[in-house]
Structure 1
Amino acid sequence: MKKQPLPFLIGLAAVLLLFSACKKDYYQDSGLAKGKFDGTVLQYLKARPDYFKNLVKTIEMAQMEDILSKEEITFFAPGDASIDSTIRYTNLMLYATGLDTIKSIADVPPQVWREMLGRYIFRGKIMLNDVPQVDWSLFSTYHGEYMKSYDDVIMHLGVVYHDEGSAKYVGYRQLFISYAPSPELSSGPSFIAPVASVNIEPTNGVVHAIQTKTHLFGFSLFEFYNRCIFYGVGHK
């Protein structure tokens, strides 16, 4: 198949991201989760195969079970819908360039899962109340916090204080995690993911479940695609 030029791929990715916003969400904004979970972070994910079955498979492929079982961490858990969407859109890009597509999660090299998952994990326990306020329209004033993930990737955390009627910042609070390859205090990060359920407490940390409606696994579709190509996806 004839390879397509870069502008075609950029246009394709833009269309895919627009369509991704129309997917049915697995989570709705529900704020605080109820109670604690009597088990590790990994055991919690395994206990919710309706949301995290494929996520657990990627963790196992990346050989990160000990991190989620034995270390104190905060995990922003992307749902299976995010993984499925990312693979589907990556396949469209692979097909457009004449490369073999991904048939199953096992077709993606473990290195890709390891590098992407490292963006969602933080050392220690970070609860909703530990994260500073962010206002995307006044980012230079309320800018949340840039911090490094488990793998030292620069990420951004912030809590939006919603308005209630005419009263500013007194409504419900919503946690956001963002990928910030070029951090700055003027405009904020580019790849922003809202959290649907917060403060789920397994025995070795905390889980915040990311809203899957608009989130693509790894935050950047191009980076996921490029890593797949780099590690040999699409070539027989």
Structure 2
Amino acid sequence: MKGYIFLIGLLGILCSCENYYHDSGLANGKHDCTMWEYFKSQPGDWDSTMILIEHAGLKDVFDGTNPGYKEITFFGVTNLSIEQFLVKTIDDDWEPVYNRVKDIPADLCREMLLSHVIAGKMMKSECAHEVKGTLTGGTMTKTLSGVELRVYRTKSGYGGIPDIGAEGLRIHAPVSGNMASIASADIEVTNGVIHALDYTYQLTRL
């Protein structure tokens, strides 16, 4: 009898949680705010990104006020990607060239950021799959800095069976050869979508 009561209680809890959405910061989801407002709500991942954007003079592109870019897709460079760039940018004496974001030339900030932005909204489901074992397949697009970018979905295995596991999303700049994995796709906001890059990614021009 006690087991029966416990089962009923458990089912009640599960049913009440069916439509509950937990926002863990980089979780997929739809947010009723601009991209800039989303960054402000998640400073642990995006506060250096906001400094980078403002230093580059691009805030209007990310807050939806630029009339030329009402919607954008941002392959999101998080704080850790920027920190890696600062640490690994060294001179001949192995000293950091830039100690903080605002030490980076504004033009370089602008170029690096725009190479991670495309006009319009591109959701994960709109991207074609890569041809496995090749560097082909996916969806070709061009960033606001003019970089050709291949955006593609990948399939993983599960339980020893290929291609039935979770789908991933990756980007590849064919000219430079730079590649990156998306840690969290389809963070949808009112003026576009963010595909947050993996924490291991180092900021670059792509």
CA distance in 1, matches of 2:161, 2:134: 17
Q: Equivalent pairs: percent with the same residue?
A: 28
Pick the structure with greater CA Rg. Answer: 2
- 1:119 paired with 2:115, answer yes
**Residue equivalent to 1:216:** 202
Answer 1 or 2: higher relative contact order, Cα 8 Å, separation at least 6.
1
Q: Any idea what SS the aligned residue of 2:33 has?
A: coil
Identify the match of residue 60 of structure 2 among 63, 66, 69.
Answer: 66
Alpha-carbon distance, 1:176 to partner: 0.5
**Residue equivalent to 1:197:** 184
Deviations 1:92-114 (CA, angstroms, capped at 9, x unpaired):
xx1437x8732221111100000
CA distance in 1, matches of 2:175, 2:185: 24
Identify the match of residue 144 of structure 2 among 141, 150, 153.
Answer: 150
Unaligned runs of 5+ in 2: 1-23, 65-69
Q: How many residues align?
A: 177
Q: Is the 8 A contact 2:156 2:166 kept in 1?
A: yes
Alpha-carbon distance, 1:217 to partner: 0.2
- Structure number with the higher helix fraction is 1
Q: Is the 8 A contact 2:116 2:143 kept in 1?
A: yes
Alpha-carbon distance, 1:145 to partner: 2.3
Q: Is the 8 A contact 1:179 1:219 kept in 2?
A: no
Alpha-carbon distance, 1:134 to partner: 1.1
CA distance in 2, matches of 1:33, 1:102: 31
The runs of at least 4 aligned residues of structure 1 exceeding 3 Å deviation read none
**Residue equivalent to 2:8:** none
CA distance in 1, matches of 2:153, 2:98: 36
**Residue equivalent to 1:225:** none
Structure 1 residues 135 and 212 mapped into 2: Cα distance closer, same or farther (>3 Å)?
Answer: farther
Q: Is the 8 A contact 1:200 1:207 kept in 2?
A: yes
Identify the match of residue 133 of structure 1 among 129, 134, 137.
Answer: 129
- 1:33 paired with 2:32, answer no
Q: Any idea what SS the aligned residue of 1:96 has?
A: coil
Structure 1 residues 43-192: aligned runs within 5 Å: 43-70=37-64, 71-91=70-90, 94-96=91-93, 101-140=97-136, 143-181=137-175, 190-192=177-179
CA distance in 2, matches of 1:60, 1:132: 33
CA distance in 2, matches of 1:50, 1:90: 23
CA distance in 2, matches of 1:61, 1:219: 16
CA distance in 1, matches of 2:157, 2:150: 22
Alpha-carbon distance, 1:135 to partner: 4.0
Unaligned runs of 5+ in 1: 1-29, 183-189, 221-236
Letter of the 2:199 counterpart: T
CA distance in 1, matches of 2:148, 2:205: 13
